[in-house]
């Protein structure tokens, strides 16, 4: 009896270990993106996180400036998935997919799904293609900043067909646009903060100059830029301030002797000008939740709804 009891106890403990490791992940997965493939199990289980994946996620966040405002879960998904459940965001990954993929594909898949969260996507089918291309551009930006070869992007597209029938050529274009955006940002960062002929050689898209009229214009005091030695110093200062306020998506344009930094189009509260903190903030065409009969619905299809939108230019 003295030898049976310890063996029985060990057997019980070993039997309990898988139960603790396979905790049911009770989330609504209806609003989601799957990186590639189609199916997604209705019942998902939480497994211990992988240190290598955690490092890649940190690298992606550092390269892009995207906030880590989502929960990371290793689970039984097919590959990598971004999920929006109410107001909470999740990044789900399959360790099996990670181990079977080369590093570039794994990082690209993680970057694509993190891009959905960084851009505030809601996975609405009416904007599916636009959101997929925006996430692909984000991934291209990250891959460039981390140091992957631009020539390998075609191989990446072939390895992972879109789960949502986004044309391959459009994905390729978006991926390369992100890559080029990162390369331009690196050029800007190295230029001196004064008149320099090298600025004229930048291949940034041009911003209208003189600037067009706008609703509000504010001139920063000269002391704000007194310590800047390069345009990169100005860029870092602006990006940090924008990140704090949730403006993670920006575009660069050329202006005489400098650059313009433009934020993503944002919907805001027209009554007081306040920032929206829900998922409608980054929707360019917010849909109406309820309709007063058939005529109201038909009218909404041809007449745009009133909304308040803005962007910031620095």
**For residue 15, what pLDDT is reported?**
43
> Nearest to residue 142, comparing CAs of 160, 115, 169?
115
Looking at the fold, whether 178 and 211 belong to one and the same domain comes out as no
Q: Where are the alpha helices (DSSP H) in 73-167?
A: 95-100, 103-118, 128-146, 153-159
Average pLDDT over residues 231-236: 69
**For residue 221, what pLDDT is reported?**
75
User: What are the distances in angstroms from CA 220 to CA 5, 101, 156, 163, 314?
Assistant: 76, 48, 43, 45, 10
**Local confidence band at 205 (pLDDT 50, 70, 90 cut-offs):** low
Looking at the fold, whether 201 and 70 belong to one and the same domain comes out as no
**For residue 285, what pLDDT is reported?**
55
Looking at the fold, whether 24 and 89 belong to one and the same domain comes out as yes
Average pLDDT in the chain:
77
Q: Quote the domain boundaries for residue 152.
A: 19-186
pLDDT tens profile 137-173: 999 999 999 999 888 888 888 888 887 889 989 999 9
Looking at the fold, whether 47 and 172 belong to one and the same domain comes out as yes
**For residue 188, what pLDDT is reported?**
54
Q: Is residue 5 in a domain?
A: no
Helices 51-64 and 103-118, axial angle in degrees (round to 10): 60
User: For the residues of 239-274, what is the DSSP string, one character each?
Assistant: HHHHHHTT---EEEEEETTEEEEEEPPEEB-TTT-P
Q: Is residue 10 in a domain?
A: no
Range with the poorest average pLDDT among 80-84, 92-96, 109-113, 236-240: 236-240
Count up the domains in the chain and report the number.
2
Residue with the larger pLDDT of the pair 6 and 96:
96
Residue with the larger pLDDT of the pair 245 and 70:
70
**For residue 126, what pLDDT is reported?**
84
Range with the poorest average pLDDT among 139-143, 191-195, 206-210, 272-276: 191-195
Percent of the residues in the chain that have a pLDDT greater than 70, as a whole number: 70
Looking at the fold, whether 128 and 174 belong to one and the same domain comes out as yes
Residue with the larger pLDDT of the pair 177 and 219:
177
**Helix/strand/coil percent split, the chain, to 5:** 45, 15, 40
Q: Is residue 1 in a domain?
A: no
- 186, 206, 222: which is the final residue of a domain? 186
**For residue 12, what pLDDT is reported?**
41
Contact status, residue 117 vs residue 66, Cβ threshold 8 Å: yes
Contact status, residue 131 vs residue 121, Cβ threshold 8 Å: yes
**For residue 137, what pLDDT is reported?**
92
Looking at the fold, whether 68 and 126 belong to one and the same domain comes out as yes
pLDDT tens profile 108-117: 999 999 999 9
Q: Is residue 9 in a domain?
A: no
**Local confidence band at 231 (pLDDT 50, 70, 90 cut-offs):** low
Residue 189 scores a pLDDT above 90: no
User: In the 8-state DSSP scheme, what is residue 213?
Assistant: P
**For residue 100, what pLDDT is reported?**
94
């Amino acid at each position: 009896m003295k030898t049976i009891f310890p063996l029985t106890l060990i057997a019980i403990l070993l039997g309990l270990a898988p139960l603790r490791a396979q905790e049911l992940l009770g989330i609504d997965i209806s609003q989601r993106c799957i990186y590639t493939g189609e199916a997604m199990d209705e019942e998902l289980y939480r497994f211990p996180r992988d240190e290598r994946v955690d490092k890649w996620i940190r690298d992606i966040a550092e390269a892009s400036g995207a906030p880590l405002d989502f929960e990371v879960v290793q689970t039984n998904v097919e590959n990598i998935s971004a999920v929006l459940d109410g107001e909470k965001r999740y990044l789900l990954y399959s360790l099996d997919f990670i181990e079977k993929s080369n590093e570039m594909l794994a990082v690209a898949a993680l970057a694509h799904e993190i891009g959905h969260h960084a851009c505030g996507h809601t996975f609405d089918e009416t904007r599916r293609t636009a959101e997929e291309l925006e996430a692909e551009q984000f991934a291209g930006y990250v891959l460039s900043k981390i140091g992957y070869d631009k020539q390998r992007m075609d191989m990446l597209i072939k390895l992972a067909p879109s789960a949502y029938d986004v044309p391959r050529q459009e994905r390729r274009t978006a991926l390369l646009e992100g890559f080029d955006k990162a390369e331009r940002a690196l050029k800007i960062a190295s230029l001196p903060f004064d008149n320099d002929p090298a600025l004229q050689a930048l291949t940034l898209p041009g911003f209208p100059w003189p600037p067009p009229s706008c609703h509000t214009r504010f001139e920063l005091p000269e002391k704000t830029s007194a310590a800047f030695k390069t345009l990169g110093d100005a860029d870092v200062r602006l990006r940090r301030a924008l990140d704090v306020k949730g403006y993670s998506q920006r575009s660069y344009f050329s202006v005489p002797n400098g650059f313009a930094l433009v934020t993503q189009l944002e919907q805001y509260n027209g009554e007081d000008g306040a920032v929206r903190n829900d998922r409608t903030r980054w929707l360019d065409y917010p849909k109406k939740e309820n309709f007063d009969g058939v005529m109201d619905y038909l009218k909404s299809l041809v007449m745009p709804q009133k909304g308040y939108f803005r962007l910031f230019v620095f």
